[in-house]
Chain A
């Protein structure tokens, strides 16, 4: 039992946790204390001085007071009132209240609300303009120094939550202000446009540009006119009472035309949730909430600002059928009848296994469920897969072998709580930005150790306590060598292994090969370093390992994932908060798409199609016989098309012709298909080969659920109507099934989830009521609705509840050669996603990062005699790609980096070949050897001057409020009112 401390507030006694913040405690009572800089998600910033209270006879800031012993607090005395009033007055000296014509007047302005609740009637000190222009240089938000009260929340969030370290307040100049980097315009700074400063700003000082002139009824006027209206507002609305009466009415009127809808981000697997503000089809802003389970108030550039594609002119709005040299728009009925007929004909002529189905990691769980139901029930084939084949299948495999569940062991909170985080092959800060920020924060503020293993010196590598660059594809070796060394030293967690782990002896025997000498030779990491790392790993109590495509997209992807899990098992780093395995899922719903059965060998909830009991359950529910042989995965489907076995393909929301490896081979397969249906928002590269294109809708235009990397199922609500005649994927799939003679009758996605939950034990208790608004469930979900934030609390899902150590071997299957002498690494860019079909449609993003580029090391550039902006052609044994060179020391030696977010001539998959992970058929995207041909020796840099990579971050902890207190013109109000 934790001891509580008694705190008396205005004569009434309350119980506080030791170490609790006093203001936090006061906020749980009925007492009102003004607080403008304080934000629960940020903690105390201590800049605004409005929360003055008396503690044991002394006037102090409530937010700056930690409760360590019992105390007497008074919030209502004359002196505290005077101090609070004085502080509010100082704020209004810096901030003009012209609420009625302010775009931030939406009921949540914290200055407005505080002044109103405090009952302040008059301006005690006149507003003083500051000698700075508004900074309108950025793509996404603007800063108005005249409205800024210097509360420093934006600085706090940038320095310590996002940890990009761009914003600071220059306290020493005569008129302090927020500055970007070393005082450059927003657009020229290191700002990554995560937008969190705008989210936490208590007023209109930092505001999304999409809000400006849009949110209010009277805010869309020319600047001069707006200024006169501001002046008049101030004259005509004397005192704050009438001003608030008018502006509150106007704010209430805004509710009528601005909708705020909760949604789940459509980009990466972190699963950020937020409110989307829409006015008709305009997206005014995206606002993460403190109750957002995965992200809290955080967001990245794509989730906060990357929604322009939804309103793109390029959206397909009617079904299209190939007619000779063009696609013709047709009515839905014609398109669906045609699809149903062709599916039936091909099934009749060639059997059900001549048809293949590819689900989308961008679509909902319900849509994945229906797609596999279409394949299995209506067609009778297990030829169903999804893009997790391209990325995640090896991690899932490795976890199935050892611990039994193919998902993250815990939550993002657990990663934040770990004493040590190791990332392997993960460009976390660009691929999972919000999750990376949690690690960056824990490392910066709470002493978490961060070890990064990667080829490339990306942001996480630069921040790491240890950064190691093993030779490509050799992670299995150092992992196993460290495991062996730990066992040799007798440092393994004996108690944990005895109680919870099987197959120790066989595993130990398999490690014979992995000596320190061998590891040094194969990986290039000195053995002394490896030994130190082993020692440090066993010295911490809580270790979490995060990995991504740098591990999985190799021929030994599954084995390497297994080696990670083995290491965690022998050190006892499972079953507790702050520990475990975190295969960071790439796309918003790549976890859920596999979870809900779009897999050739699994029913929903990872029950094997060969499992008799599961098969019977589905046969009964669907009233049909089901195939028991596993079907073909994506990769095998491409082979089968070339072999003439697979004749029809239905691809939902995947640009397979860009994202699969060896796209020359894939597009050649498309040409051979008898019938090809693509369902998408746009006429993608893949859709160009289709016979029928069905117009689908983006996440904002439908309901459903997504499952993030934490196994967290979250609901999205519909914020916009479908464009034209486009439809939600689940409706289209249902209509195809019905055209084929079935009678599916789902009125709402909740009914699909209900059916799936009734059939898959893993989701037994999932239902939409438990997922209302910001509520979420982490699977497994028991029938009574209990979910599982931390896996393996009561053991592992095997017969005897014990995990398994899995013996491994290693042969280096890939290397560069004399001819193909360069290694191409590839991965994501923060600001773009996937093949770029969505993010390149954002003008704001494209002006900062207009295209992909090839990163070349300074050494290699010198050796080949090329400079920034050179043009090169890369040739692998599978194909060519062309691109513009950016020279950077993020890469070293003969390694190149090519962002995968491009669908033009720079698309990396012109280079990748048919090599795959031997256990999961995931393409070995990360094993490309190329030769480089110089086309042009130098040119214009592919990285514009306003790209954040060119900025100069200024790291500091928090807002440095002491520097404010040191100013000559600052007096602590507590002292002032006392004297």
Chain B
């Protein structure tokens, strides 16, 4: 005669047995992955030595707070403008003609070099200005600038 019963006595594994079993599982895994584990320890030692480990630890524990702070900060208008500019700049870069820009940058650099060497006290009169048009280098620059202005004004 078996009466219906609902009571279950769980078999509590002795602590030592569980400990032994877990330990065996872990050491098996260690042994199977010896190389990876040793490299891992090396990496751990390095990040510990330079303090990164503590920082990482703290950061991971406060992940949600950190993320919230960063998000709050980054969503402020001033960053927002930067972020948007960044992305616009990124697109702008794509539109620039780099070869042309390079040509002009070179000329611009030479011009700046010359300008730096100039004596800041020396003055240029109207006559000097007209005369300097005869200088082939200045004339080339002026012609180029005039052409640039024409291009810029074109619809």
Contacts and interface: CB of A to CB of B under 8 A. Distances in A.
Nearest to B80: A235
A228 B8 contact: no
Nearest to B67: A225
Contacts of A322: 2, 5
A330 B11 CA distance: 7
B1 A232 contact: no
Given A221-B64, A238-B90, A238-B91, A232 B8 contact: no
Contacts of B11: 318, 328-330
Nearest to A675: B2
Contacts of A231: 75
A676 B11 CA distance: 22
Given A225-B67, A228-B72, A229-B71, A325 B7 contact: yes
Nearest to B81: A235
A671 B1 CA distance: 5
Most buried by B among A229, A235, A328, A672: A235
A236 interface: yes
A720 to B, nearest CB: 20
B69 to A, nearest CB: 10
Contacts of B84: 235, 238
A238 B83 CA distance: 9
B87 A236 contact: yes
Given A235-B83, A235-B84, A688-B5, A329 B72 contact: no
Interface in B36-63: none
A267 B1 CA distance: 34
B7 A676 contact: no
B142 to A, nearest CB: 40
Nearest to A329: B11
Contacts of A667: 4
Interface string B69-89: 001101100001001100110
Nearest to A691: B2
Interface string A684-695: 010011110000
A671 B3 contact: yes
B91 to A, nearest CB: 7
B2 A225 contact: no
B18 to A, nearest CB: 14
A541 B91 CA distance: 67
Q: For chain A, what secondary structure do more than half of its interface residues adopt (helix, strand, loop), or is it mixed?
A: mixed
Nearest to A688: B4
A670 interface: yes
Nearest to A674: B2
A328 B9 contact: yes
Contacts of A323: 9
Contact of B2 (A238, A320, A683, A689): A689
The contact size tier of chain A is 20 to 34
A278 to B, nearest CB: 23
A327 B4 contact: no
Contacts of B68: 225, 228
B10 interface: yes
B125 interface: no
A329 B8 contact: yes
A228 B91 CA distance: 24
B6 interface: yes
Contacts of A330: 11
A320 B8 contact: yes
Nearest to B72: A228
Interface in A666-713: 667, 670-673, 676, 683, 685, 688-691
A612 interface: no
B75 A673 contact: no
Contacts of A232: 71, 74-75, 83
Nearest to A672: B1
Contact of B8 (A222, A670, A676, A683): A683
Contacts of B67: 221, 225, 229
Given A225-B64, A676-B2, A326 B75 contact: no
A235 B90 CA distance: 13
A314 to B, nearest CB: 10
A176 interface: no
Nearest to B12: A329
Most buried by A among B2, B72, B80: B2
A673 B9 contact: no
A84 B11 CA distance: 67
B6 A688 contact: yes
B136 to A, nearest CB: 47
A19 interface: no
Interface in A225-245: 225, 228-229, 231-232, 235-236, 238-239
A764 to B, nearest CB: 44
A98 to B, nearest CB: 13
Contacts of B1: 671-672
Given A231-B75, A670-B2, A689-B2, A329 B9 contact: yes
A778 B72 CA distance: 60
A327 B2 CA distance: 12
B71 A228 contact: yes
B130 to A, nearest CB: 51
A875 to B, nearest CB: 23
A236 B11 CA distance: 56
A669 to B, nearest CB: 11
Contacts of B3: 671, 689
Given A228-B72, A329-B8, A329-B11, A236 B64 contact: no
Nearest to B10: A329
B75 A228 contact: yes
A272 B2 CA distance: 40
Given A235-B84, A238-B88, A326 B7 contact: yes
A704 B131 CA distance: 99
Contacts of B91: 238-239
A822 B88 CA distance: 80
A235 B4 CA distance: 66
Contacts of A225: 64, 67-68, 71
A673 B74 CA distance: 73
B82 to A, nearest CB: 10
Nearest to B4: A688
Nearest to A319: B11
A330 B8 CA distance: 11
Nearest to A670: B2
A574 B72 CA distance: 71
A325 B5 contact: yes
A236 B5 contact: no
A671 B5 contact: no
Contacts of B6: 683, 688
Interface in B10-26: 10-11
B13 to A, nearest CB: 10
A323 B87 CA distance: 73
A327 B5 contact: yes
A647 to B, nearest CB: 12
A344 B1 CA distance: 20
Most buried by A among B5, B10, B90, B91: B5
Contacts of B8: 320, 326-329, 683
Contacts of A318: 10-11
A239 B7 CA distance: 63
A529 B131 CA distance: 119
B83 A326 contact: no
A323 B9 CA distance: 10
A235 B87 CA distance: 8
A-B complex: 10 closest residue pairs judged by Cβ atoms: A238-B87, A688-B4, A329-B11, A228-B71, A326-B7, A235-B83, A327-B8, A328-B9, A326-B9, A228-B75
Given A238-B91, A326-B5, 7 more contacts: A232-B83, A235-B84, A236-B83, A239-B87, A330-B11, A688-B6, A689-B3
14 contacts: A221-B67, A225-B64, A225-B67, A232-B71, A236-B87, A238-B87, A326-B7, A329-B8, A670-B2, A671-B3, A672-B1, A685-B4, A688-B5, A689-B4
Interface of A: 221-222, 225, 228-229, 231-232, 235-236, 238-239, 318, 320, 322-323, 325-330, 667, 670-673, 676, 683, 685, 688-691
